[in-house]
Amino acid sequence: MGNPSSDGDDYVEVVLSLVERIPWGRATTYGDLAEVVRERTGTGGPRQVGRVLSMHGGGVPWWRVVRADGRLPAHNEDAARQNHLAEGTAMLGPERVDLRTAGWDPHDSDSPNRP
DNA sequence: ACCTTGACCTTGG
DNA sequence: CCCAAGGCCAAGG
Protein backbone atom coordinates (compact mmCIF):
# COMPACT_ATOMS: atom_id res chain seq x y z
CA MET A 1 0.00 0.00 0.00
CA GLY A 2 1.21 3.40 -0.61
CA ASN A 3 2.52 5.81 1.85
CA PRO A 4 0.43 8.86 1.00
CA SER A 5 2.90 11.22 2.60
CA SER A 6 4.48 12.28 -0.65
CA ASP A 7 5.85 10.68 -3.81
CA GLY A 8 8.91 12.89 -3.71
CA ASP A 9 9.98 11.51 -0.34
CA ASP A 10 9.33 8.01 -1.62
CA TYR A 11 11.63 8.60 -4.56
CA VAL A 12 14.36 9.82 -2.25
CA GLU A 13 14.00 6.80 0.03
CA VAL A 14 14.23 4.36 -2.88
CA VAL A 15 17.39 5.98 -4.20
CA LEU A 16 19.09 6.12 -0.81
CA SER A 17 18.19 2.54 0.06
CA LEU A 18 19.73 1.32 -3.17
CA VAL A 19 22.89 3.36 -2.74
CA GLU A 20 23.32 1.91 0.74
CA ARG A 21 23.33 -1.58 -0.78
CA ILE A 22 26.31 -0.93 -3.05
CA PRO A 23 29.04 -3.20 -1.62
CA TRP A 24 32.39 -1.99 -0.35
CA GLY A 25 34.89 -1.43 -3.14
CA ARG A 26 32.25 -1.50 -5.87
CA ALA A 27 30.35 1.15 -7.81
CA THR A 28 27.30 1.70 -10.00
CA THR A 29 26.21 4.44 -12.37
CA TYR A 30 23.56 7.14 -12.17
CA GLY A 31 21.95 5.70 -15.27
CA ASP A 32 21.62 2.09 -14.07
CA LEU A 33 20.43 3.28 -10.69
CA ALA A 34 17.86 5.56 -12.31
CA GLU A 35 16.61 2.67 -14.41
CA VAL A 36 15.82 0.56 -11.35
CA VAL A 37 14.35 3.49 -9.45
CA ARG A 38 12.15 4.26 -12.41
CA GLU A 39 10.79 0.70 -12.39
CA ARG A 40 9.87 1.07 -8.73
CA THR A 41 8.61 4.66 -8.66
CA GLY A 42 7.68 5.15 -12.29
CA THR A 43 9.55 8.40 -12.51
CA GLY A 44 12.93 10.06 -12.60
CA GLY A 45 16.14 9.84 -14.59
CA PRO A 46 19.90 10.03 -14.07
CA ARG A 47 19.74 13.73 -13.25
CA GLN A 48 17.10 13.13 -10.59
CA VAL A 49 19.34 10.56 -8.92
CA GLY A 50 22.11 13.14 -8.93
CA ARG A 51 19.78 15.69 -7.40
CA VAL A 52 18.81 13.32 -4.58
CA LEU A 53 22.43 12.55 -3.74
CA SER A 54 23.36 16.22 -3.82
CA MET A 55 20.67 17.05 -1.30
CA HIS A 56 20.28 13.90 0.83
CA GLY A 57 23.45 11.94 0.08
CA GLY A 58 25.09 12.88 3.37
CA GLY A 59 24.25 9.57 5.07
CA VAL A 60 25.08 7.14 2.27
CA PRO A 61 28.19 6.10 0.29
CA TRP A 62 27.47 8.54 -2.57
CA TRP A 63 30.99 8.14 -3.99
CA ARG A 64 30.04 4.60 -5.10
CA VAL A 65 27.75 6.18 -7.67
CA VAL A 66 29.72 7.28 -10.72
CA ARG A 67 29.07 8.44 -14.27
CA ALA A 68 28.46 6.05 -17.17
CA ASP A 69 32.14 6.10 -18.18
CA GLY A 70 33.39 5.51 -14.64
CA ARG A 71 34.38 9.11 -13.94
CA LEU A 72 33.80 10.29 -10.40
CA PRO A 73 30.87 12.55 -9.41
CA ALA A 74 31.20 16.03 -10.86
CA HIS A 75 31.25 17.99 -7.60
CA ASN A 76 33.24 16.01 -5.06
CA GLU A 77 35.80 14.17 -7.18
CA ASP A 78 38.48 14.77 -4.61
CA ALA A 79 36.60 13.26 -1.66
CA ALA A 80 35.37 10.43 -3.85
CA ARG A 81 38.92 9.57 -4.90
CA GLN A 82 40.03 9.38 -1.26
CA ASN A 83 37.21 6.99 -0.40
CA HIS A 84 37.91 4.72 -3.36
CA LEU A 85 41.55 4.67 -2.44
CA ALA A 86 40.61 3.63 1.09
CA GLU A 87 38.28 0.92 -0.23
CA GLY A 88 40.77 -0.38 -2.76
CA THR A 89 38.27 0.04 -5.59
CA ALA A 90 39.57 -1.05 -8.99
CA MET A 91 40.52 2.13 -10.84
CA LEU A 92 41.62 2.82 -14.39
CA GLY A 93 43.12 6.21 -13.75
CA PRO A 94 43.21 8.60 -10.81
CA GLU A 95 39.73 9.79 -11.68
CA ARG A 96 38.04 6.78 -13.15
CA VAL A 97 36.55 3.60 -11.65
CA ASP A 98 37.03 0.36 -13.56
CA LEU A 99 33.37 -0.61 -14.00
CA ARG A 100 34.43 -3.74 -15.85
CA THR A 101 35.75 -5.07 -12.55
CA ALA A 102 34.16 -3.04 -9.78
CA GLY A 103 30.83 -2.43 -11.50
CA TRP A 104 27.79 -3.48 -9.47
CA ASP A 105 24.40 -3.83 -11.08
CA PRO A 106 21.51 -2.57 -8.88
CA HIS A 107 19.21 -4.95 -10.77
CA ASP A 108 21.00 -7.92 -9.21
CA SER A 109 21.19 -6.38 -5.75
CA ASP A 110 20.62 -9.86 -4.26
CA SER A 111 23.46 -11.77 -5.80
CA PRO A 112 27.13 -11.03 -6.32
CA ASN A 113 28.19 -10.33 -9.86
CA ARG A 114 31.06 -9.22 -12.08
CA PRO A 115 33.93 -11.12 -10.33
C1' DA B 1 3.22 28.87 -18.85
C1' DC B 2 8.24 29.95 -20.24
C1' DC B 3 13.11 29.67 -19.32
C1' DT B 4 17.21 28.24 -16.93
C1' DT B 5 19.85 25.02 -14.37
C1' DG B 6 21.83 20.52 -13.02
C1' DA B 7 26.43 15.05 -8.61
C1' DC B 8 23.49 12.80 -16.59
C1' DC B 9 23.70 9.85 -21.27
C1' DT B 10 24.70 8.87 -26.08
C1' DT B 11 26.31 9.71 -30.57
C1' DG B 12 29.18 11.85 -33.96
C1' DG B 13 33.30 14.43 -35.65
C1' DC C 1 41.48 11.07 -26.46
C1' DC C 2 39.11 15.67 -26.72
C1' DC C 3 35.06 18.45 -27.99
C1' DA C 4 30.18 19.58 -29.48
C1' DA C 5 25.27 18.84 -29.97
C1' DG C 6 20.84 16.84 -28.85
C1' DG C 7 18.04 14.35 -25.63
C1' DC C 8 16.18 13.52 -21.18
C1' DC C 9 13.56 14.58 -16.40
C1' DA C 10 12.31 17.45 -12.68
C1' DA C 11 12.85 21.69 -9.71
C1' DG C 12 12.94 26.68 -9.16
C1' DG C 13 12.69 31.55 -10.76
Give the whole-angstrom CA distance, residue A63 versus residue A57.
Answer: 9
β-pair type (A65-66, A28-29): parallel
Give the whole-angstrom CA distance, residue A108 versus residue A12.
Answer: 20
What is the predicted pLDDT for the residue at A95? 94
Residue A38 in any domain: the answer is: yes
φ and ψ at A104, to 5 degrees? -125, 125
CATH number at residue A39: 1.10.10.10
Residues 5-64 of A with CB under 7 A from strand C: 8, 43-48, 51
Count structural domains, chain A: 1
Residue A29 in any domain: the answer is: yes
Is the shortest CB-to-strand distance from A28 to strand B under 7 Å? Answer: no
Residue A109 in any domain: the answer is: no
Residue A2 in any domain: the answer is: no
Distance A45 CA to B3 C1' (A): 21
Contact partners, residue A31, CB within 8 Å, separation at least 6:
A46, A68
Residue A110 in any domain: the answer is: no
**Residue A39: which domain range?**
7-101
Q: Please state the pTM of the whole predicted model.
A: 0.91
Residue A114 in any domain: the answer is: no
Q: pLDDT by residue for chain A (115 residues), tens digit each?
A: 544 456 778 999 999 999 999 999 999 999 999 999 999 999 999 999 999 999 999 999 999 999 999 999 999 999 999 999 999 999 999 999 999 999 999 998 764 444 4
